[in-house]
Structures are given as C-alpha cells and as structure tokens.
Amino acid sequence: MASHIVGYPRMGPKRELKFALESFWDGKSSAEDLEKVATDLRSSIWKQMSGAGIKYIPSNTFSYYDQVLDTTAMLGAVPERYSWTGGEIGLSTYFSMARGNATVPAMEMTKWFDTNYHFIVPELGPSTKFSYASHKAVSEYKEAKALGIDTVPVLVGPVSYLLLSKPAKGVEKSFSLLSLLGSILPIYKEVVAELKAAGASWIQFDEPTLVKDLGAHELAAFSSAYAELELTLSGLNVLIETYFADIPAESYKTLTSLSGVTAYGFDLIRGAKTLDLIRSSFPSGKYLFAGVVDGRNIWADDLAASLSTLQSLEAVAGKDKLVVSTSCSLMHTAVDLINETKLDDEIKSWLAFAAQKVVEVNALAKALAGQKDEAYFAANAAALASRKSSPRVTNEEVQKAAAALKGSDHRRATNVSARLDAQQKKLNLPVLPTTTIGSFPQTVELRRVRREYKAKKISEEEYISAIKEEINKVVKIQEELDIDVLVHGEPERNDMVEYFGEQLSGFAFTANGWVQSYGSRCVKPPIIYGDVSRPNPMTVFWSKTAQSMTSRPMKGMLTGPVTILNWSFVRNDQPRFETCYQIALAIKKEVEDLEAAGIQVIQIDEAALREGLPLRKSEHAFYLDWAVHSFRITNCGVQDTTQIHTHMCYSNFNDIIHSIIDMDADVITIENSRSDEKLLSVFREGVKYGAGIGPGVYDIHSPRIPSTEEIADRVNKMLAVLDTNILWVNPDCGLKTRKYTEVKPALTNMVSATKLIRTQL
C-alpha cells in the first residue's frame, strides 16, 4: 500500500508556529521555547501521517521561515553583509537573512511559482563560498526516526535552487547561476551521505522548475547534476518531485532519462497533459508518484475519479511501482477542517484540508491494494453529489448571464481620449492631478471598532457613527493637504477581498483556514463555493456619505473580479474564467449603483491581475484574455463622464503592458517606486498610452518620508517620457499599514512637489 505526501503545512492548525516566532522575535520568549513549539509540531505531524497509514512521510519540510532559505543555510551561501563567520548557521544569522536586522536589510523575497507563498531569493556570484552549514535535513530525519517513524528527507533540488537564485549585487546579470552547480553538488553529496549513514532509504528532491519553459542548457544541467550525484545516491531510492503545472514534453524526456533516479512525482491536478505523457511512455522499473489529491485547494477529492485514474496508471508503471500522492506540498492549503467552527456541516462535507487530504491519499492507496473502505468512498460520493445538486451552489440566473458573456466583447462605446475630455469638463482637475490609492492608516482604535461591531458588542448606530467620523477625518486631512481626487480611506474594510466576499453570495469564510504567505505571515482566503451574485449594494452607502462631506470628487473604491478570484480558494467544478465572469457581473452592478448615486470617479483595483499569470507562456494569452475581459465587463456600461480608475501592485508588468492598455481604464495607478526605470522604459520604447497614468512616486512599504525634491525629481523623470496631460501624482499603494505621522508629511511633500512642477510647465 503505497502512499506519499509531498510536504505538509508547518504553521500548525492554529498558527502555533506564527505566534512562537513572533514572540521570539519580540524578545518575549527564548530560542528553547521556539524550538519546543517546532519540535512538538513536527512530531504531531509525523505521528498524524504515520497514524493515517502513509508509507512515504516527508521530513525536512518544516521550516522556521522558508525552505529555500533553509537550503541557502545548508549550503552556507550567506551573503557577506550578514558577517557570518562560519560554522553551523544559528537562528540569529538565519533570521537576519530572512528579516534583516538593525543594520542590514533582509534578502529579497519573491513569489514561489504561481502560489501566494514567498521564498527568500538566494544571492549568488562567482565568489560565493559554499560550505555544509546547516544539518537540518539530517537532524529532522533522526528526530523522526527517534519517534519510530522512517521518513523521506526532502531537499530543494540543486538545479531548481540555482534557477530560483539571482546574481548577488555587483555580479553581472549575465553571470550563469548554473555555473555554480559544481560548487554546490559537493555539499549535496555530504548531506546525502550523512542521510544514508543515518539510515535513510529514500530521498526526495523537489525540482519544480521542471514545469517551466526551460532551454536545452537548463535541461542539460539536470542531466549532469544527477549524473554527478549518482554514485553518492546509489543504494538510495531517489524521488524527483515536480509540481504546479504540466511538464513540457522535452523536460519530461530529460527527467525520465536521468541516471540514478528511481522515482518521479507529478502534479496530476494542474498537469492533465502530463498524464498523456506518462501514458505514452514511462520508464520501466521506475516508481510513479501520482499526485492525484489537490494540494492547492480545499475541496474533497473525487475519490472515485482518482481511483479510476490510478487504476489506469497501474498498467503503465506496474502495480508495485505506483504510489498515491498529493499534487504538491500541502502547505498551499489550509491545515485541518476539525477546527472549523464557523462553517456549516453541508459545506464542511464538501471540503478537505491538509489533515483530511492525508486520509484521502491513504484511502486511495488502500483501495488500489484491494482494501477499499466502502463506507468512506460512499460518504465521499454522497458529499460530492450533494455539492453538485445543492441549490446553494447553483443559481440559474447567474449561470445564464455569465454564459452569455463568453465569446463576446465588452467595451465602452467611446474611445479613451474622448472620454477623458468629457470627464475633464465635469471634473475640472488641474494638470498633474493628485490622488491616493484608497486606504488610510488603520489605527488600533479603528480595528477595535470593527471587531466589536462584528462581535455585536457595539450597535450598528455606534459603528456607523464611528466610521463616519473616521471618514470625515480622512476627508478633512485630504482637503487640508489640497489633494485633488479624494478617497474615503476604507476604514470599514479589514481586507480588500474579504470585505466584498462577505457581502456576495457564493462565498464562505473559515475560522482557521490559514495558508502561509511568507515567514510567520498567513492569509485566510475566502472559499468561493457557489455561483456569485450581489444581493445588495456593498459600498454605495459609504461612498455617498464620503462624497457628501466634500465638494471635491470622491473615488468609489472596489476590488476587481480578477483580484477577488486570485486571492480566494476557487471552485473546481467549473473553469476559473466562469467564476471570474460571475464576479465581474456582481461588481458591474456595484459600479452602476455607484454611478447612479452620483459618484463620478470609480476605482476598481486589480492588484493581483499580474500574479495570476500561468507558469507556462503558452497559457498567458488565454488567461490575459479572460482576465482583461472580466475587468472591462465591470465598467462597460458607464457613461463617458464617469471616470474609471484601476490600480495594480507589483511593478514588473512590462511584459503585459498591452493587456493593461486593453483593460481600457481611464486612469491607472501603479506600484512603481522601487523601479522607475523599468516601467518608464516601456514608454520610452514607444508604447502608445493615451489613458491617465499614475506611477507611484514613493514607496509606501517603508516608513521613510520622501522629500519634496526627491518626489519632484521623479515626477520630472516621468514627464520626460509621458505626456503632461496624462500624468497623475500618487503614492505606490494604499496607506493602510503606515502611521499618520508618516503619511501626513509624505503627502504634504507629494503635493508641494506637484505644485512646484505645475509652475514650471
């Protein structure tokens, strides 16, 4: 009975690790306290998997911060600025790399493939010195063994590690990171040898970059790396694990011909075409780890369907070489359904979090081995049937409306320059209009008000009056600062997706459905389980109230459909674009109600549009097409005189600039302050952009207050590339996480810089 789990969430069912880490960082608890929490978590996870009957249980998937940083520590690749002097890397050097310290900034963090998890990017160069500096993989293996559990130690594979790295500061961009293979493999060999000596019989290398578009040079690196490791690996069963997408045919060929490897793991949820590759040829005598249970979602598996896929694979790999597995590490899903007190039983019966997925994997393995638990399978089939037929899932009207959108186009009737003229007649804005992105600082007091209202500790009246007061304060501040287009500050919102999800039908919220985002930070994505509709206006009351407090234009503030989709757990019973179209229709209603209520400027944030890009280039066009279409659906019906803004985070979107233009917003504000040059180069290269654009003039992620000169300088740089009449002046993103003592002087300088430049035009 062969079952395997690729990896498991480390945060704990109630975020125990988060609290232990933060208390340690705050100096409120000791390293021993932290280690105790970590040891307990690891042992309970191993025991749980072993108790469930899992045969191949992973170790070294725990981390105090990030598995890529753990690998950096293992290789001793500590950037010089941390003044590490050698030996075993301790917590202080480790956390300095992760989070910076009083004198040295942290290493960069970036998204782990197309997930919402962020890893610490290794900084490597020709002079990086490597040494075996963290024995974590071995000590975790031994720790499990001492509990009587023989595990499969997991390492980030050497090729993926290098391909995920960046050249250190001062190193030529053209430096070949792969040229470091020869330097890191000796350390991998030491680790492997020690694991072998400790008794390991299996080892897992995670090589997820294999699902990306790789060139011949990169593929050759895989072949030579594993050939080089072959001798050291002999006597061990070696599993190469890939996940997150279909593996390209060329890469599949390279992978399945690697020497010294005995097993291959594939994501069969996001890799439907990989299944065809496997069926058409799979090397004989090798193990196939079939990732049929979805590691990135929260839905109960369709066990009957998985079983039949698995049965068909028995013919390919052989009965004794087929292993049931998860599609990827379970760290991308929520931890344990048992702690869900807010969800009703019906919805709960449709779900499986990490702990439940472990049981599913084992049940499938048993069924394959002829010991099918009929009652368990029957309960699963019943839950699936109830989900399919539940009136809470299906809303005929919404289905019809969304279906009618497919294949058609939705655009505003007039082109953007005519619209901007019509809007200017009404809005009468000065040249280089100033604005902000939406949120203003969220004070402790404000959070308390929201919490108490939710807990019904204060009345609706008290709540409304407190929020009104806050809006009034924010309006007055902006008027005093002399900002041109105002915002209400979003004091009623905890989170830009949750706020809308809570008011839309088809969404459910968990109490503990946390997923690690980076370090100790977790997010709790809403679950979209049914057809989405908007029973009532969601923001109109607050926007109208805010507009009534000022004669300046007040922006309505909405989250766009693509962002709501990308930051939620989505349905797996219909394509993503269908769900997105449904959300678009709901937001469209809100846009129209705002317009009818007299709001003349409406911002529809698409903060997460860029991050939804599929991993494989061949799939970009399709995604961008429906994503951009969804955005246009939300505002295709407004009058020319209504000004539609959008906002995007993440500065690197040069590759999707044409899609951004195709969104056809009247004004776009974008995060930019960390990379002016990158963004402006697109326009310098002649991309035609006729709509309004506000590249952020200062970084809101830092408490630093930018000077007037500095902002003026940046605006002037932008003016050298962009037409005066399309440029807007605004910060990078929302001000929610900043303090008033930072926001006020920063915005003062932003407005004075703008006024200064206006006099020079």
- d(CA 491, CA 468) in angstroms, rounded, equals 9
Tell me the pairing of strands 237-241 and 527-533. unpaired
Indicate if 701 belongs to the active site: yes
- d(CA 257, CA 264) in angstroms, rounded, equals 11
Options 470-478, 681-689, 717-725, 731-739: segment touching ligand GLN (CB under 6 A): 731-739
- d(CA 365, CA 371) in angstroms, rounded, equals 9
Q: Which is nearer to Zn ion, 128 or 651 (CB)?
A: 651
Q: Out of ligand GLN, Zn ion, none, which partner does residue 557 contact, by CB within 5 to 8 A per kind?
A: ligand GLN
Options 74-82, 177-185, 534-542, 642-650: segment touching Zn ion (CB under 5 A): 642-650
Neighbours of 571 (CB within 10 A): 22
SS3 120: strand
Q: Give least dist CB 649 to ligand GLN, A.
A: 5
Q: Which of residues 477-496 bind ligand GLN (CB under 6 A)?
A: 490, 496
What character string, x for contact with ligand GLN (CB under 6 A) and - otherwise, covers 735-754?
-x------------------
Contact predicate 634/605, CB 8 Å: no
Q: What number of chain residues touch Zn ion (CB under 5 A)?
A: 3
What is the amino acid identity at position 276?
D
Rg (CA), the chain: 27
Q: Which is nearer to Zn ion, 510 or 659 (CB)?
A: 659
Cα-Cα-Cα-Cα dihedral sign, residues 84, 89, 95, 99: positive
607 touches ligand GLN by CB under 6 A:
yes
Q: Which is nearer to ligand GLN, 490 or 611 (CB)?
A: 490
- d(CA 621, CA 597) in angstroms, rounded, equals 37
Q: Which of residues 554-573 bind ligand GLN (CB under 6 A)?
A: 557
Q: Which is nearer to ligand GLN, 118 or 647 (CB)?
A: 647
Q: Give least dist CB 438 to ligand GLN, A.
A: 3
Residue of 238, 217, 243, 359 whose CA lies nearest to 295: 243
- d(CA 478, CA 474) in angstroms, rounded, equals 6
Q: Out of Zn ion, ligand GLN, none, which partner does residue 321 contact, by CB within 5 to 8 A per kind?
A: none
Q: Give least dist CB 624 to Zn ion, A.
A: 19
Task: Specify whether the backbone of 608 is left (phi greater than 0), alpha (psi in -120 to 50) or beta.
Answer: alpha
Interacting residue with ligand GLN among 733, 747, 750, 757 (CB under 6 A): 733
Q: Which is nearer to ligand GLN, 388 or 701 (CB)?
A: 701
b/e burial code for range 451-470 (CB count within 10 A of at least 16 → b)? eebeeeebeeeebeebbbeb
Q: Give least dist CB 647 to Zn ion, A.
A: 6
Tell me the pairing of strands 515-518 and 521-523. antiparallel
Q: Out of ligand GLN, Zn ion, none, which partner does residue 142 contact, by CB within 5 to 8 A per kind?
A: none
Interacting residue with Zn ion among 733, 743, 747, 751 (CB under 5 A): 733
645 touches ligand GLN by CB under 6 A:
no
Beta partners for 692? 667
Tell me the pairing of strands 505-508 and 527-533. antiparallel
Could you say which of 217, 488, 620, 701 is catalytic? 701
Residue of 159, 309, 310 whose CA lies nearest to 242: 159
Q: Give least dist CB 603 to Zn ion, A.
A: 11
Contact predicate 144/46, CB 8 Å: yes
Q: Give least dist CB 733 to Zn ion, A.
A: 3
649 touches Zn ion by CB under 5 A:
yes
Residue with the two structure tokens 């969601």: 538
Q: What number of chain residues touch ligand GLN (CB under 6 A)?
A: 13
Q: Out of ligand GLN, Zn ion, none, which partner does residue 9 contact, by CB within 5 to 8 A per kind?
A: none
Interacting residue with ligand GLN among 38, 68, 75, 437 (CB under 6 A): 437
Q: Out of Zn ion, ligand GLN, none, which partner does residue 203 contact, by CB within 5 to 8 A per kind?
A: none
Q: Out of ligand GLN, Zn ion, none, which partner does residue 433 contact, by CB within 5 to 8 A per kind?
A: none
Q: Which two tokens stand for residue 406?
A: 């497919």
- d(CA 389, CA 385) in angstroms, rounded, equals 6
- d(CA 149, CA 146) in angstroms, rounded, equals 7
What torsion do the CA atoms of 380, 383, 385, 390 make, to the nearest 10 degrees? -170
What is the amino acid identity at position 480?
E
Q: Give least dist CB 700 to Zn ion, A.
A: 8
Q: Out of Zn ion, ligand GLN, none, which partner does residue 21 contact, by CB within 5 to 8 A per kind?
A: none
- d(CA 382, CA 400) in angstroms, rounded, equals 27
What character string, x for contact with ligand GLN (CB under 6 A) and - otherwise, covers 310-349?
----------------------------------------
Q: Which two tokens stand for residue 278?
A: 């496997």
- d(CA 57, CA 564) in angstroms, rounded, equals 35
Q: Out of Zn ion, ligand GLN, none, which partner does residue 358 contact, by CB within 5 to 8 A per kind?
A: none
Q: Give least dist CB 451 to ligand GLN, A.
A: 19
Q: Give least dist CB 698 to Zn ion, A.
A: 13
Q: Which is nearer to Zn ion, 303 or 649 (CB)?
A: 649
Q: Give least dist CB 436 to ligand GLN, A.
A: 7
What character string, x for contact with ligand GLN (CB under 6 A) and - otherwise, covers 646-685?
-x-x------------------------------------
Options 13-21, 296-304, 431-439, 750-758: segment touching ligand GLN (CB under 6 A): 431-439
Interacting residue with ligand GLN among 258, 734, 738, 757 (CB under 6 A): 734
Which residues lie below 8 Å from residue 647, measured CB to CB, with a gap of 6+? 437, 438, 603, 605, 606, 607, 668, 669, 670, 733
Q: Out of Zn ion, ligand GLN, none, which partner does residue 749 contact, by CB within 5 to 8 A per kind?
A: none
Beta partners for 550? none
Q: Give least dist CB 554 to ligand GLN, A.
A: 14
Q: Which of residues 592-611 bind Zn ion (CB under 5 A)?
A: 607
Q: Which of residues 240-299 bind ligand GLN (CB under 6 A)?
A: none
Helices (H), 199-325: 216-233, 249-256, 272-280, 303-317
Residue of 577, 434, 579, 603 whose CA lies nearest to 501: 579
Distances (CA, A) of 550 to 728, 734, 743: 21, 21, 21
Cα-Cα-Cα-Cα dihedral sign, residues 556, 557, 563, 567: negative
Q: Which of residues 37-66 bind ligand GLN (CB under 6 A)?
A: none
Q: Which residue is nearest to ligand GLN (CB)?
A: 734
Options 68-76, 553-561, 591-599, 727-735: segment touching Zn ion (CB under 5 A): 727-735
What is the amino acid identity at position 488?
H
Q: Give least dist CB 603 to ligand GLN, A.
A: 7
- d(CA 362, CA 596) in angstroms, rounded, equals 56
Q: Which is nearer to ligand GLN, 4 or 493 (CB)?
A: 493
Angle between helices 272-280 and 303-317 (to 10 degrees): 30
Could you list the active site residues?
Answer: 701
Q: Which residues lie near Zn ion (CB under 5 A)?
A: 607, 649, 733
User: Rule CB under 6 A: which residues touch ligand GLN?
Assistant: 437-439, 490, 496, 557, 605, 607, 647, 649, 733-734, 736
